[in-house]
Structure 1
Amino acid sequence: MHLRHDSIYSSRRSPVLADNLVSTSHPLAAQAGLAILAKGGNAVDAAIAAAATLTVVEPTGNGLGSDGFCILWDGKELHGLDGSGAAPAGWTPDRFAGHKTMPFRGWESVTVPGAISTWVTLAERFGTLDLPTLLAPAIGYAENGFIVSPVIGALWERGAELLSDQPGFAETFMPNGRAPRAGERFRCPDMARSLSMIAETAGRAFYEGPLAEKIAAHARAHGAVLSEADLAAHRPEWCGTISTGFDESTLHEIPPNGQGIAALMALGMLEHTAIREIGPDDPMALHLQIEAIKLAFADLHAYVADRKYMAPTTTEDLLNPAYLKARAAHISPDKAQEHGPGAPRDGGTVYLTAADSSGMMVSFIQSNYSGFGSGVVVPGTGISLQNRGAGFTLTPGHPNEVGPGKKPFHTIIPGFLMKNGQPKMSFGVMGGPMQAQGHVQMVLRTQLWDQDVQTAVDAPRWRFVDGQHVACEETLPPSVRDKLSGLGHTISVETPDSAFGFGGAQLIERLDNGGYAAGSDPRKDGQAVGF
């Protein structure tokens, strides 16, 4: 990794170099994790403290009703944890008859929230400090208030315009009848009480106790079917990881129901292209990545679902090296194309990462999916609920068709990179469909093109949308955009706050001397901190 002093992109940030690091999308969350490390906690403890704090200080992207996933290196071994929740038992396809697509907001988009169980499961297996200690920073900010930051303030205002009529939203997130603005203080004593109950009961209050009862009662009051039994049945799963190699590096992702497999497929295809002969900002480098992502997304949307329902097409089929080589052959260096799914068988967030001096590295993501999620907030609790049910399809027979007790397709994915069998980088790029594409961009920039983690984060990004449509950041030079257009891509320039945007990346890379380098995305309010 080449550590630059001169900045070649828009940010003037340098990577943060230390033996203990936390990088998140909000400074207060990063510092909460750092404080836990300073108390003698490990990287898992720090990640939980940061994740809990983010539910308070960045409610636009996550909350107590989020889902979560984690990949961690414990110093000897890599682990993957799937904390996502399932559809209520009452969600049969017939329930959504008459709908063309799954509801995107409201109670009919809410599946069982898994983030709290993810914290508890991580703490019980790998943590060293108790849950009340880890959640204390979050409880303090909820009880005493925090000052709203600029990016969050803008997202909050947009969310309030869309969701003010959703049950419980305005009374929690619109004090004085509007969203709090950047620079104003926001308090949520209800959330402080919920967090305290979660800490004192090791999460049981959320899934079996008084909070579960309030969630289910609010669902019934609005004609929804999420029940106490659905919440009590939830269990996180130690699912391991799936992986694909590129030269000496191996990218690891959580297995389906998430989109991480698309990053692996794209990387596996790029192995068979001329990308190694091209510089990071050459239009041809972008073209090859875009085409690989298109091919991967075609398969993603055709085959990927809750892994128990993916047969006959399996994860192994989609990652088969021979299949990926065959898919790569469809990439033309001369023109953009539209790609359908292949035949692999013959016949939507907050992200954080933490690392400590013992060698433990944590890649953690949790999300309400689309800005404040469903918009539903359980009265008196501060619990905002995700809208992950929108990830299902209503197409009969599709592996991702909605069904009782089934997990929906997920966009949120933590990433982890190994190199020559050793941990190399814990990272993520939040932002809906940007995530798998962002993973590919970060891996290539840091590993193939030797950019340091902050430079890779600062670089202009692109996002495949659909068909020939590719969205680019305005910082991508016009000459590059023109050459991509000449290859047949339909290029649009988006501002950072439009649609899903271009994500928010946080990266920690292990150095050869045993320390770490961290980068934090200037597109967010966050920071990397360490000692």
Structure 2
Amino acid sequence: MRDFELPGRSLAVSRNAMAATSQPLATLTAIDILRNGGNAIDAAVAACAVQCVVEAGSTGIGGDCFALLSLGGSDKVLAYNGSGRAPAAATIEHLRSLGVSSLERTSPHSITIPGAVDAWTRLVADHGRMKMADILAPAIKLARDGYALPPRTAHDLAAEIATVSNDPTASRIFLVDGEAPAAGTVQYQRELADTLEAIGREGRDAFYRGPIAEEMVGFLNGLGGLHTLDDFANASGEYVTPVRTTFRGYDIHECPPNGQGIIALMILNILSHFPGSGDPLSPERLHIEVEATRLAYAARNRFVADPAKVDVPVDYLLSDALAKELAGMINPEKAIADLPDFDEVPHRDTIYLCVVDEDRNVVSFISSVFFPYGSGRMTPKSGVLFQNRGMSFSLDPAKANSIAPGKRPMHTIIPGMVTKAGKAVMPFGVMGGQYQAMGHAHFLSKVFDYGLDLQAAIDLPRLFPLPGTANVEMEHRLRATIGKEFEKRGFGVQEPQSAIGGAQAIWIDWETGVLKGGSDPRKDGMALGI
């Protein structure tokens, strides 16, 4: 039960339908779509499109997305991989011949073909009820008529002035006289409005073929990129089989590699050997969670890549034997000194949302441009801000995640779904770049081990071990209570650049018909039901 004398927010509750996003306008858009006859798929895409406008630093049509779907509340979960691929000419040899020694953030070689629009149109065509033009109408109106910049978005933009200033179109759209705008400043993205309108009218081909694609390819080629019209025309996501584990009697579903959802399941498998009890924020418990994360992330960067291009040992990574072996490496009193070496994968930004409709269609949906404001590169006529997801690739041919033609990079963004006894019971997600796998496990442990409600679990202070090190980022509430104890155990404790992650979740109570939703106070959004 929430302590109503403390700052915070209550669970959202309703009986009919619910949406939870990191932006109020996106949540309201999802609810309006549901009220106007759309289903959860329609509402999720509409909400994401709105966030592409009002939270452009986190997501956009120049980025990627993943989704988990339960139709009618079934435990037969569908997964969709909407991540984009490297250009067909992007071989290590070709890049090296061009003098490329690393994949830098603003380089055109960090820009993979965007997969989001293809995913939106495919999911709506297969499972939606409404026309794409009607789904995108709220986002188009906001982009054309203007929107007020939300506080967290303004905070994130202020930290990215250097990147945004590097591109004349991005600077014109997002900055005011070269400076970061204050929260409440009205912004417009009229070029993006026209592009969204074309997608609503003509479908995916409006983006991947024709004048918009020609502008994107010409723009990227002008920067030295290897992208072609064929790369865009051939862009295609796919339905994939989710990966799954069982934790405390619940089945946890994640998208398979090239996403890192399998790492969340690995952490849960390790934690299954350490039953939760007592204080969920005790140094003893958080020590176990940190070490489970460090071990699982070591495996992540050795193995997680595009399974269409390399062998990813899914069965091995999810095996009980490996979980037991890794759990046995944890010393409950001291940090593990030696972990496998792996390349750094940056910790960046994303949006996550979930929707449950009156027919109990359930959508867990995540979308991203990777770093805040992605590559910082924006087309002047179509208003497409490109992701920099290709930075996750390696130029070392011995690495599983080495760049190759048509290959998808390892992705940090992961939607989650919980089922039990034949029913979907909770779509959930935790934003925050590579934190997400730990965030999934941390959140689920707090709900299933400690009995916290969704909002209470989301509100708890967070920590995250920086991969490959014994350094742990801690939000200030934890630094004040357990920071010194962690240092005694051999960890380095440091302040994060900003609040860690952001989460949304909706619980489905099948006995009462009630929906309960939570939304992270670290973001601007909310959960809302009807």
The separation in 1 between residues aligned to 2:417 and 2:234, in whole angstroms, is: 29
How much does 1:223 deviate? 1.7
What is the match of residue 325 of structure 2? 326
User: Quick check: 1:244–1:252 contact (8 Å CA) kept in 2?
Assistant: yes
What is the match of residue 108 of structure 2? 107
Matched, 1:315 2:299: no
What is the match of residue 66 of structure 1? 63
How much does 1:487 deviate? 2.0
1:381-428: CA deviation from partner (whole Å, max 9, x where unpaired): 111000000010122221111111111111111111122332121111
Matched, 1:525 2:524: yes
How much does 1:163 deviate? 2.8
User: Quick check: 1:72–1:363 contact (8 Å CA) kept in 2?
Assistant: yes
How much does 1:99 deviate? 4.7
How much does 1:130 deviate? 0.8
What is the match of residue 385 of structure 1? 386
Identity %: 36
SS in 1 for 2:366: strand
What is the match of residue 424 of structure 1? 425
Matched, 1:305 2:302: no
Q: Which amino acid aligns with 2:287?
A: H
The separation in 2 between residues aligned to 1:12 and 1:413, in whole angstroms, is: 26
Q: Which amino acid aligns with 1:12?
A: G
User: Quick check: 2:146–2:189 contact (8 Å CA) kept in 1?
Assistant: yes
User: Quick check: 2:110–2:375 contact (8 Å CA) kept in 1?
Assistant: yes
Unmatched 5+ residue regions in structure 2? 342-347
1:261-309: CA deviation from partner (whole Å, max 9, x where unpaired): 1111111111122x33343122111111111111100000111110123
1:474-507: CA deviation from partner (whole Å, max 9, x where unpaired): 012633222222222211233xxx16x4111111
What is the match of residue 489 of structure 2? 487
How much does 1:175 deviate? 5.0
User: Quick check: 2:276–2:445 contact (8 Å CA) kept in 1?
Assistant: no
After superposition, where does 1:140-151 map in structure 2 within 5 Å?
140-151=141-152
The separation in 2 between residues aligned to 1:490 and 1:472, in whole angstroms, is: 10
User: Quick check: 1:304–1:310 contact (8 Å CA) kept in 2?
Assistant: no
The separation in 2 between residues aligned to 1:259 and 1:174, in whole angstroms, is: 34
Structure 2 CA distance for partners of 1:295 and 1:202, relative to 1, 3 Å: same
The separation in 2 between residues aligned to 1:420 and 1:462, in whole angstroms, is: 33
What is the match of residue 345 of structure 2? none
Structure 2 CA distance for partners of 1:339 and 1:360, relative to 1, 3 Å: farther
How much does 1:341 deviate? 4.2
After superposition, where does 1:325-474 map in structure 2 within 5 Å?
325-341=324-340, 348=348, 349-466=350-467, 467-474=469-476
Matched, 1:42 2:44: no
How much does 1:338 deviate? 3.5
The separation in 2 between residues aligned to 1:197 and 1:176, in whole angstroms, is: 30
The separation in 1 between residues aligned to 2:291 and 2:376, in whole angstroms, is: 35
How much does 1:11 deviate? 4.4
User: Quick check: 1:299–1:340 contact (8 Å CA) kept in 2?
Assistant: no
User: Quick check: 1:295–1:339 contact (8 Å CA) kept in 2?
Assistant: no
What is the match of residue 510 of structure 1? 508
SS in 2 for 1:68: strand
User: Quick check: 1:298–1:339 contact (8 Å CA) kept in 2?
Assistant: no
Structure 2 CA distance for partners of 1:430 and 1:402, relative to 1, 3 Å: same
SS in 2 for 1:59: coil
After superposition, where does 1:181-220 map in structure 2 within 5 Å?
181-220=182-221
User: Quick check: 2:277–2:449 contact (8 Å CA) kept in 1?
Assistant: no
Structure 2 CA distance for partners of 1:477 and 1:73, relative to 1, 3 Å: same
1:185-210: CA deviation from partner (whole Å, max 9, x where unpaired): 11111111000001111221111122
How much does 1:240 deviate? 2.1
What is the match of residue 288 of structure 2? 288
What is the match of residue 84 of structure 2? 85
SS in 2 for 1:384: coil
Q: Which amino acid aligns with 1:363?
A: S
After superposition, where does 1:24-43 map in structure 2 within 5 Å?
24-43=21-40
For structure 1, which segment, 171-180 or 243-252, has the greater mean C-alpha deviation from structure 2 after superposition?
Answer: 171-180
SS in 2 for 1:52: helix
What is the match of residue 254 of structure 1? 255
What is the match of residue 229 of structure 1? 230
Provide the TM-score with structure 1 as the length reference.
0.94
What is the match of residue 344 of structure 2? none
Matched, 1:96 2:98: no
- The CA RMSD over aligned residues, in Å, is 1.7
The separation in 2 between residues aligned to 1:513 and 1:338, in whole angstroms, is: 49
The separation in 1 between residues aligned to 2:44 and 2:382, in whole angstroms, is: 23
1:219-274: CA deviation from partner (whole Å, max 9, x where unpaired): 1222211111001111111012101111211211110111111111111111122x
How much does 1:7 deviate? 5.5
What is the match of residue 56 of structure 1? 53
Q: Which amino acid aligns with 1:217?
A: G
1:115-143: CA deviation from partner (whole Å, max 9, x where unpaired): 11111111011101111111010001011
User: Quick check: 1:11–1:522 contact (8 Å CA) kept in 2?
Assistant: no
How much does 1:101 deviate? 3.2
What is the match of residue 10 of structure 2? 14
SS in 1 for 2:79: strand
Runs of 4+ in 1 over 4 A off after TM superposition: none
The separation in 2 between residues aligned to 1:131 and 1:491, in whole angstroms, is: 48
The separation in 2 between residues aligned to 1:292 and 1:96, in whole angstroms, is: 37
What is the match of residue 345 of structure 1? none
SS in 2 for 1:71: strand
How much does 1:339 deviate? 4.5
The separation in 2 between residues aligned to 1:351 and 1:256, in whole angstroms, is: 18
